[in-house]
Structure 1
């Protein structure tokens, strides 16, 4: 089954609680939460108090994507705030294996994200211990960007690696995906699709999620 993970970075923050309830009612599979520190990426977004405050609004999986420096320093805090999956960037952590095991020690799932130009080879020795690989198909930091075409090849590379070492892994793709290209992304090997602008481009969230599913 292909999972849809709406990114609330594209939501109307003044209506965040309302949008989260809509996502659950509309059949979203998880909520993708982009955490930015203004250092690893040129933007600042959600912090721990926001995640904690919205946790009580839904039972959907909180898929927390840490686009921050030294992510291991904050893992316990994000677990406490309600994260079900924590994904850290390969590019931000000198001791990525240790961080992955640290995340999993709290009984939640762990993922590694790769920026567009980061080689899939970087996770060759990690993939068997991961619950998810996140392939960034735009340069992280802002919503509304265009899908980078060569990332389809990266998705296929991760799928091939997973078929050898971890067949049940989630292969998530984030950036520039809408109803016009979701099929090709899935055909490349993705099984979790992050969509921000495509879901929140207007008030028709239910219709937009249905369009994504229909595009598959």
Structure 2
């Protein structure tokens, strides 16, 4: 089974966003990954509701929103109504995590938890039954182009074992180079967020890169 390949839209060319979405869609990507940052939970600002609406307008593929914001419960409706199919929250940012995950599902979207490098699997074990996706951060959240944090492999292994019981998909976000994709695919990760390490500004077309990543994945199997 092919792994889910998900372009990180914070790395796209915003001068030609509609063209970028069409090209990535035609290239065969699976999920458009949208990072929402408020400058408080993480020290950066990125995408907003209008960006999600634009991406939704030009693709029928799944769109996810990774909410790196304080008190996401007050904002999840904005992004679901804008077209998000999957919404990730960070447990550290929300007082009532279970209530917020349940609300995301009640709104008709898939619910996800994002797990920072310094967040333990044991600390989220009680809420995994509400998660459709678990996003493992293999870098510290907030900026593209960071180095892979090696000890997060252990967390990936733990979550891959747990997904058999709970049914969620394990997604990887952070320095997803072709080598990291090969490595963590072999461990059982389901999908990868593709940024500057694998997809953007690489001198090839998006289709060439996506096709290469698919082929490499098949070769590993």
Aligned residue in 2 for 1:189: 188
What SS does structure 1 have at the residue aligned with 2:46?
Answer: coil
Point out where structure 2 has 5 or more consecutive residues left out of the alignment. none
Partner of 1:86: 87
Q: Give, in angstroms, the shift of residue 181 of structure 1.
A: 2.1
Asked whether the equivalents of residues 88 and 112 of structure 1 are also in contact (C-alpha less than 8 Å), the reply is yes
The aligned counterpart of 1:201 is 201
Aligned partners of 1:130, 1:186: CA distance in 2, in Å?
A: 20
Aligned residue pair count: 214
- Whole-Å Cα distance in 1 between the matches of residues 143 and 214 of structure 2? 24
The 8 Å contact of residues 115 and 137 in structure 1, kept in 2 or not, is answered as: yes
State the shift of 1:54 in Å.
2.5
Q: Deviations over 1:13-39 (max 9, x none)?
A: 112111110111010011000011111
Matched ranges for 1:4-153 at <5 A: 4-153=5-154
Range moving further from structure 2, 200-209 or 128-137 = 200-209
Asked if structure 2 preserves the Cα contact closer than 8 Å seen for 1:153 and 1:188, the reply is no
Gaps of at least 5 residues in structure 1 are: none
Aligned-residue offset at 1:79: 0.9
How far residue 12 of structure 1 moved from its aligned partner, in angstroms, is: 1.3
In 1, Cα distance between equivalents of 2:96 and 2:213? 37
1:178 matched to which residue of 2?
177
TM-score (norm 1): 0.95
Tell me the SS of whatever aligns to 1:180: helix
Residues 18 and 54 in structure 2, CA contact (< 8 A), matched pair in contact too = no
8 Å contact 1:37–1:45 — kept in the other structure? yes
| C-alpha distance 215-155 of structure 1, shift in aligned 2 (>3 A) | same
Q: Distance in 2 between matches of 1:137 and 1:91?
A: 17
Moved over 3 A (4+): none
**Alpha carbons 2:22, 2:59 under 8 Å: kept:** yes
Are the counterparts in 1 of residues 8 and 32 from structure 2 also a CA contact under 8 Å? yes
CA contact (8 A) 1:172 1:192 kept: yes
